[in-house]
Amino acid sequence: RKEVEQDPGPFNVPEGATVAFNCTYSNSASQSFFWYRQDCRKEPKLLMSVYSSGNEDGRFTAQLNRASQYISLLIRDSKLSDSATYLCVVNIGGTYKYIFGTGTRLKVLA
Amino acid sequence: DTAVSQTPKYLVTQMGNDKSIKCEQNLGHDTMYWYKQDSKKFLKIMFSYNNKELIINETVPNRFSPKSPDKAHLNLHINSLELGDSAVYFCASSQGAERNTQYFGPGTRLTVL
């Protein structure tokens, strides 16, 4: 079993739709959680950190469920520019080790 | 103004050659990383340095040798290149770890022929 698992997609959604991605992690020592965005042939960039209480940044909402060991990302009112691969990232507590999921590809269609 | 820079951006070479990739960050971070992203887009950590000290070495073949001359630089030397080394190599930096954001360089696309 992979340490961090994501549905690879692609998720094809129309503009304006709401789309949600889940990510599960297997290491219970995981302490910090992030969503990164990676555009085609570009480097990953931080989209948002995920806090225990859940957090929102504009159209993006991230949730953490420690009991079930998953995190989620909700994108509301999808834009064409949201088309990218979304990477779930987990940091193992007390270490410098970040583990990336394989990413979920999103295509927002006009 | 680039926060994390890598050179070269593209590298095409023959099997068996030795090559180096350089990385520099101007963010004042104390931790730097090398990641490999293969053809299936899976991003996997290879090495991490904190204050020039190697702290993560993820079962990478010893043909790969990282070197950190100072906190702002982390280079990667690869000996005897193999076809399977073809990938995109990303350098990243952060201030400490855990809750801190990693900033990635633009990547070096290595093709071994």
pLDDT value of position B98? 65
pLDDT digits 0-9 by tens, A12-47: 999 999 999 999 999 888 889 999 999 999 999 999
pLDDT value of position B93? 94
Report d(CA B72, CA B93) in Å as an integer: 9
pLDDT value of position A29? 86
Average pLDDT, chain A: 93
C-alpha distance from residue B48 to each of A74, A77, A93, B51, B65 (Å): 31, 38, 15, 10, 12
Mutating which of B10, B43, B58 best tests the A interface, going by the most A Cβ atoms within 10 A? Answer: B43
pLDDT digits 0-9 by tens, A38-70: 999 999 999 999 988 889 999 999 999 999 999
pLDDT value of position B71? 92
pLDDT digits 0-9 by tens, B17-30: 999 999 999 999 99
Beta carbons of B98 and A31 less than 8 Å apart: yes
Report d(CA A43, CA A45) in Å as an integer: 6
Nearest CA in chain A to B55: A96
pLDDT value of position B28? 93
Tokens of B103: 């900033």
pLDDT value of position A51? 82
pLDDT value of position B37? 95
Mean pLDDT of B81-105: 90
Mutating which of A6, A42, A98, A104 best tests the B interface, going by the most B Cβ atoms within 10 A? Answer: A98
Beta carbons of A96 and B56 less than 8 Å apart: yes
Taking the CA atoms of B92, A42, A91 and B87 in sequence, report the sign of the dihedral they define.
negative
Residue B16's CB: how many other CB atoms inside 10 A? 10
Question: Residue A82: helix, strand or coil by DSSP?
Answer: helix
Whether A79 has a pLDDT exceeding 80, the answer reads yes
Beta carbons of B43 and A46 less than 8 Å apart: no
Chain B nearest-CA distance from A107, in A, is 16
Which residues of A are less than 8 Å from B41 in CB distance?
Answer: 85, 102-103
Mutating which of B34, B49, B89, B102 best tests the A interface, going by the most A Cβ atoms within 10 A? Answer: B102
Which residues of B are less than 8 Å from A2 in CB distance?
Answer: none
Beta carbons of A44 and B43 less than 8 Å apart: yes
Judged on CB neighbours under 10 Å (0-12, 13-18, 19+), B1 is exposed
DSSP character at residue A76: -
pLDDT value of position B1? 62
pLDDT value of position A70? 92
My answer on whether omega of the bond before A10 falls inside 30° of 0, hence cis, is yes
DSSP character at residue B103: E
pLDDT value of position A64? 94
